[in-house]
A and B are shown apart, each in its own frame.
Chain A
Amino acid sequence: MTDDTTRPDTTQRETTPVLEPEAVRTVGSPLDGKVPDVPAEQAWDDRRLHYDLVAPANRRKFTVIVVGTGLAGAGAAAALGELGYQVECFTIHDAPRRAHSVAAQGGINAARARKVDNDSVHRFVKDTVKGGDFRGREADAYRLGQESVRVIDHMNAIGAPFAREYGGELATRSFGGVQVSRTYYTRGQTGQQLQVAGANALLRQVARGTVTLHTRQEMLDLVVADGRAQGIVVRDLVTGEVRAVTAHAVVLATGGYGNIYCKSTLAKNSNATAAWRAHKRGAHFANPSFIQFHPTALPLMSEWQSKTILMSESLRNDGRIWVPVRADDDRAPADIPEDERDYYLERRYPTYGNLTPRDVASRAARERIDAGFGVGPLKNAVYLDFADAIARLGRATVMSRYSNLFHMYEQATGDDPLRTPMRIAPGAHFAMGGLWSDYDLMTSVPGLFVGGEVGWGYHGANRLGANSLLSACVDGWFTLPYAVPGYLAPLLGTPPLALDDDAVLDAVEAVEARTQRLLKNEGTQGPDRFHRRLGEILYRCAGVSRTPEGLSQGITEIRALREEFWRDVRVLGEGTALNQELERAGRVADYLEMAELLCVDGLDRDESCGAHFRADHQTPDGEALRDDAAWCRVSAWESPAPDATDGRFVRHDEPLTFQAVPLQTRNYA
């Protein structure tokens, strides 16, 4: 592999026919987000007032399934357990602490506005909505800001050792896309500390008996009966046993799908299978093409590199990003004098400088790299330089802020960032798209809720740094515990679905049939090879910048690869034991379906917004050009029914309206 895989495709423009969106999709009925009909800042108070309640003595009569034990899943399971519901919690990991929230190092935003830097809940909402390029729900952002205040208190109380000022109060720093300091952090391990605290709170409920924890179990299907989500089908990853579990409601908190790009900043086991299986059972998938490329990932360095490691965005607080002024400049960075360096973010965006939002920073880096100014052996990176910060603050201060990140970088590359600038490049990272949900975090399948990155909420077409830990915590600890009981209350007296119900038996049979098909396939290539090839297609055709030609090419190539997969995949080993090849094969099979929809969504959305940058929609100075008249809406997709003849996806629209933060052009200059 070379860096070519991360470059947008420019060679196919003349040769590839552009697919008309109508050839790959139809438009279905519009969706109602069920936002309370009050001003956005009052929506959450209003909705909480109107939720039905379940009395404490009745709560244990309800069973709720929570899939995933990251910040959202552990939070939801623990909070519902604390309230008295019976929770069945599932994770693919051996321990709840392993969920990939653990790796979000930078920080967690909160609109506490305790300082005098002019922060407020409203400013938080404005930054979030604007950062999301007006493709998320305004009322959701308000709820996020409101609940952010007590998320910090709660996580602090359960043992997350937040950084403190010398006087003893909580310390904050700033992140991309904002001009205030509202990010709470624990060195460069914020995700780890929040995740461990949340996972331990979950284990407290396990000890209390309110939560039954099932480790090393993978959800492979959703049970839908009478139009409601009433259970899941899981496979025990150690014994291979496939069984169904039924409940009154199901919460998915299974994370994002960025690993579809294969070389991503995500963990190797992060996957889209639970979400995609739920999608195939009727949960609409919103904005799948909105995938964020993180600007401070490590560049690809070798053929067998398994992922792209993420350096925290917090590094941009003190690091300055630059490339040589001259293309193909081979000199070592120390030999390039100051006036031959192009601090392109400071040049193009003087107000925000190195702290421009991620999509802007990624695109600017991609532009410089593609124009021939990239650095490093493969010319596929830009410099992130701490020399000025060290001169200004001293080595000790810089190390106290970033020592573990510097250590991590040195581990990965062998270079010491104190002596030579880091090399960074955009890498596939956070999924802004996900299962569509209404204001109550309920998907288009009644009884199926989402929390955290598996959903589509808050972040629109882009995400502000330090908002993802926040949204996962708020969903898990402070939104689902209100919304889920509101759904359960009218079901009082109804038992969970019987395990011999036809819907249950059908779902179990479908899972077993699929597993057997993978195991019995007489192919020659392991699933990893297909995953790597899929990633190459997606980086090339649906990467940092997209064209209709590239996306059309992607759809064609993905269909061919999917066909080849089912013809030639080889899954060694048995189904009755731990079989990581089988796990990978199932996930890659889902990615191969989902990738087509990702490209269809990108092709269909005929505008640029946030991380979805279409080269055919840009301003003269290269900024994203939104089309609010046509596209101020969410695309929530339905896959073609198995018996559909034309194979077209169905798009359902949810129109978006903005009152508190009027539509405006994002400008970080």
Chain B
Amino acid sequence: MKLTLDVWRQPDAASPGAFESYVVTDATAEMTLLELLDRLNDQLVEEGREPVAFESDCREGICGCCGVNVDGRPHGPEANTPSCEQHVRSFADGDHIVLEPLRSAAFPVVKDLVVDRSALDRVIQAGGHVAVDAGTAPDADTTRIDHETAEMALDFAACIGCGACVAACPNGSASLFTGAKLTHLAALPQTRQERGRRAVAMVDQMEHDFGPCSTYGECALVCPAGIPLTAIAAVGKERMRAFLRGRAS
């Protein structure tokens, strides 16, 4: 297959960027989007041109490293699928594809398709953890958690932290990400002590770096972990709960 790629090239955060156009003539249907970039890069090196910087690591959809905008859509044409699991079979011979970094004010470009997503970690650092030191935990079986609750917690814990939700959101909101973590931890009784404090701290930090949620729902359409849109409701609910109760737990 022959594919034309318009790729965003930007040497570093301080420099302006621009699209450059490249042609790959031997793309195959079973290639992933990132393998297509590998192929392109091999070609660029051969021609003595600097390869395109992009992030990827596990390439099996779980580390959350990868993420590019494909024709304006985070990760690519297939819904709820990370860039590393998007395949060339989604495109037709002769197609023109525009590849950009995930676009959001909270994610400055580092180089080419690589962005800085540390704003997400600042939200976690504010309170997305449980204050239990190693060796001090009680027997995990002493707190019974019914099967459905554990499964529900897992549905929300599945977030891979890729940031596609932020890039898809017209407001640049991180509500799906933050709400997923709040819902996951709120569901588990062993993390209850800090529930209110956690919600206030995480939401405050989120609002500092990211835009507000307008319930557009674009986030859930691109989320590779399939985090349901209900996660965003947890943001308001958990903070309101903390406010009404007026205490940490």
A residues apposed to B, CB below 8 Å: 75, 78-79, 82, 93-98, 100, 102-103, 105, 114, 150, 152-154, 156-159, 161-170, 186-187, 189, 191-193, 196-197, 200-201, 203-204, 206-207, 215, 238, 267-270, 301-307, 309-310, 408, 411-412, 414, 477-478, 481, 524-526, 528-529, 570, 572-573, 577-578, 580-581
A-B contact pairs, 5 of them (CB 8 A): A95-B121, A159-B190, A162-B150, A189-B157, A203-B125
The reply on B133 being an interface residue by CB < 8 A is: yes
Do A578 and B12 form a contact, CB below 8 Å, given A93-B57, A200-B129? yes
Q: Across the interface, which residues of B come within 8 angstroms of A114, CB to CB?
A: 141
Shortest distance from the beta carbon of A587 to any chain B beta carbon, whole Å: 13
Which of A79, A103, A578, A580 touches B134 (beta carbons < 8 Å)? A79
Shortest distance from the beta carbon of A414 to any chain B beta carbon, whole Å: 7
- The closest CB in chain B to the CB of A188 belongs to B62
Complex CA–CA separation, A153 to B141 (angstroms): 8
- The closest CB in chain B to the CB of A152 belongs to B140
Complex CA–CA separation, A564 to B184 (angstroms): 52
- Add 16 more A-B contacts to A79-B133, A82-B133, A96-B121 (CB < 8 A): A102-B62, A114-B141, A150-B135, A156-B190, A159-B185, A161-B145, A161-B184, A162-B150, A163-B150, A187-B154, A189-B157, A197-B130, A200-B129, A200-B130, A267-B59, A408-B60
A98 and B137 contacting across the interface, CB-CB below 8 Å = no
Complex CA–CA separation, A152 to B135 (angstroms): 11
Complex CA–CA separation, A215 to B46 (angstroms): 31
B137 and A150 contacting across the interface, CB-CB below 8 Å = yes
Shortest distance from the beta carbon of B208 to any chain A beta carbon, whole Å: 15
The reply on B160 being an interface residue by CB < 8 A is: yes
Of the listed stretches B31-39, B97-105, B164-172, B235-243, chain A binds: B31-39
- The closest CB in chain B to the CB of A169 belongs to B141
The reply on B244 being an interface residue by CB < 8 A is: no
Shortest distance from the beta carbon of A116 to any chain B beta carbon, whole Å: 15
Shortest distance from the beta carbon of B204 to any chain A beta carbon, whole Å: 13
Do A304 and B129 form a contact, CB below 8 Å, given A103-B60, A162-B140, A193-B157? no
The reply on B18 being an interface residue by CB < 8 A is: no
Q: Across the interface, which residues of A come within 8 angstroms of B228, CB to CB?
A: none
Shortest distance from the beta carbon of A189 to any chain B beta carbon, whole Å: 6
Shortest distance from the beta carbon of A163 to any chain B beta carbon, whole Å: 6
The reply on B72 being an interface residue by CB < 8 A is: no
Shortest distance from the beta carbon of A471 to any chain B beta carbon, whole Å: 16
A82 and B134 contacting across the interface, CB-CB below 8 Å = yes
Which of A166, A192, A203, A580 touches B147 (beta carbons < 8 Å)? A166
Complex CA–CA separation, A477 to B136 (angstroms): 12
Q: Across the interface, which residues of B come within 8 angstroms of A191, CB to CB?
A: 62
Which of A163, A302, A573, A580 touches B30 (beta carbons < 8 Å)? A302
B137 and A154 contacting across the interface, CB-CB below 8 Å = yes
B59 and A309 contacting across the interface, CB-CB below 8 Å = yes
A526 and B45 contacting across the interface, CB-CB below 8 Å = yes
- The closest CB in chain B to the CB of A82 belongs to B133
Complex CA–CA separation, A581 to B146 (angstroms): 49
Q: Across the interface, which residues of B come within 8 angstroms of A200, CB to CB?
A: 124, 128-130
Q: Across the interface, which residues of B come within 8 angstroms of A193, CB to CB?
A: 154, 157
B145 and A164 contacting across the interface, CB-CB below 8 Å = yes
- The closest CB in chain A to the CB of B127 belongs to A207
B132 and A157 contacting across the interface, CB-CB below 8 Å = yes
Do A269 and B135 form a contact, CB below 8 Å, given A193-B157, A305-B35, A577-B12? no
Complex CA–CA separation, A85 to B38 (angstroms): 42
Which of B53, B136, B160 touches A580 (beta carbons < 8 Å)? B53
Complex CA–CA separation, A89 to B64 (angstroms): 21
Of the listed stretches B1-9, B111-119, B210-218, chain A binds: B111-119
Shortest distance from the beta carbon of B86 to any chain A beta carbon, whole Å: 9
B residues apposed to A, CB below 8 Å: 11-12, 28, 30-32, 34-35, 38-39, 41-42, 44-46, 48-51, 53, 55-65, 81, 85, 87, 89, 110-111, 114, 116-118, 120-121, 124-126, 128-141, 144-147, 149-150, 153-154, 157-158, 160-161, 184-185, 187-188, 190-191
A269 and B110 contacting across the interface, CB-CB below 8 Å = no
Q: Across the interface, which residues of B come within 8 angstroms of A96, CB to CB?
A: 121
Shortest distance from the beta carbon of A241 to any chain B beta carbon, whole Å: 14
Complex CA–CA separation, A51 to B15 (angstroms): 54
Q: Across the interface, which residues of A come within 8 angstroms of B124, CB to CB?
A: 200, 203
B57 and A269 contacting across the interface, CB-CB below 8 Å = yes
B62 and A207 contacting across the interface, CB-CB below 8 Å = no
Complex CA–CA separation, A529 to B188 (angstroms): 48
Complex CA–CA separation, A169 to B157 (angstroms): 19
Complex CA–CA separation, A302 to B128 (angstroms): 41
Shortest distance from the beta carbon of B44 to any chain A beta carbon, whole Å: 8
B121 and A203 contacting across the interface, CB-CB below 8 Å = yes
Shortest distance from the beta carbon of B132 to any chain A beta carbon, whole Å: 4
Which of A164, A206, A525 touches B150 (beta carbons < 8 Å)? A164
Q: Across the interface, which residues of B come within 8 angstroms of A159, CB to CB?
A: 129-130, 157, 184-185, 188, 190-191
A164 and B62 contacting across the interface, CB-CB below 8 Å = no
- The closest CB in chain A to the CB of B36 belongs to A304
Q: Across the interface, which residues of B come within 8 angstroms of A150, CB to CB?
A: 135, 137
B51 and A581 contacting across the interface, CB-CB below 8 Å = yes
Q: Across the interface, which residues of A come within 8 angstroms of B11, CB to CB?
A: 577
B85 and A168 contacting across the interface, CB-CB below 8 Å = no
Complex CA–CA separation, A268 to B55 (angstroms): 10
Residue of B28, B131, B154 with most chain A CB atoms under a 10 A cut-off: B154
Which of B42, B111, B120, B147 touches A529 (beta carbons < 8 Å)? B42
- The closest CB in chain A to the CB of B12 belongs to A577
Do A580 and B12 form a contact, CB below 8 Å, given A204-B131, A304-B31? no
Residue of B49, B53, B140, B158 with most chain A CB atoms under a 10 A cut-off: B140
B65 and A168 contacting across the interface, CB-CB below 8 Å = no
A95 and B50 contacting across the interface, CB-CB below 8 Å = no
Complex CA–CA separation, A94 to B135 (angstroms): 29
- The closest CB in chain B to the CB of A576 belongs to B12
B62 and A189 contacting across the interface, CB-CB below 8 Å = yes
Q: Across the interface, which residues of B come within 8 angstroms of A302, CB to CB?
A: 28, 30-31
Do A307 and B57 form a contact, CB below 8 Å, given A95-B117, A581-B51? no
Residue of B48, B87, B133, B190 with most chain A CB atoms under a 10 A cut-off: B133
A94 and B157 contacting across the interface, CB-CB below 8 Å = no
A572 and B51 contacting across the interface, CB-CB below 8 Å = yes
Complex CA–CA separation, A79 to B134 (angstroms): 6
Shortest distance from the beta carbon of B100 to any chain A beta carbon, whole Å: 17
A98 and B60 contacting across the interface, CB-CB below 8 Å = no
- The closest CB in chain B to the CB of A304 belongs to B35
Q: Across the interface, which residues of A come within 8 angstroms of B57, CB to CB?
A: 93, 98, 100, 267-270
Shortest distance from the beta carbon of A649 to any chain B beta carbon, whole Å: 32
B131 and A578 contacting across the interface, CB-CB below 8 Å = no
Q: Across the interface, which residues of B come within 8 angstroms of A201, CB to CB?
A: 129-130
- The closest CB in chain B to the CB of A476 belongs to B134
Complex CA–CA separation, A414 to B38 (angstroms): 21
Complex CA–CA separation, A526 to B130 (angstroms): 45
Q: Across the interface, which residues of B come within 8 angstroms of A268, CB to CB?
A: 56-59
Complex CA–CA separation, A570 to B141 (angstroms): 56
Q: Across the interface, which residues of B come within 8 angstroms of A93, CB to CB?
A: 57, 65
**Ranked 5 nearest A-B pairs via Cβ:** A168-B144, A157-B137, A526-B45, A156-B140, A204-B129
Q: Across the interface, which residues of B come within 8 angstroms of A166, CB to CB?
A: 146-147
Which of B41, B135, B141 touches A170 (beta carbons < 8 Å)? B141
B145 and A95 contacting across the interface, CB-CB below 8 Å = no
Shortest distance from the beta carbon of A571 to any chain B beta carbon, whole Å: 9
Complex CA–CA separation, A170 to B144 (angstroms): 8
Do A528 and B42 form a contact, CB below 8 Å, given A165-B147, A206-B125, A305-B35? yes
Q: Across the interface, which residues of B come within 8 angstroms of A411, CB to CB?
A: 61, 81, 85
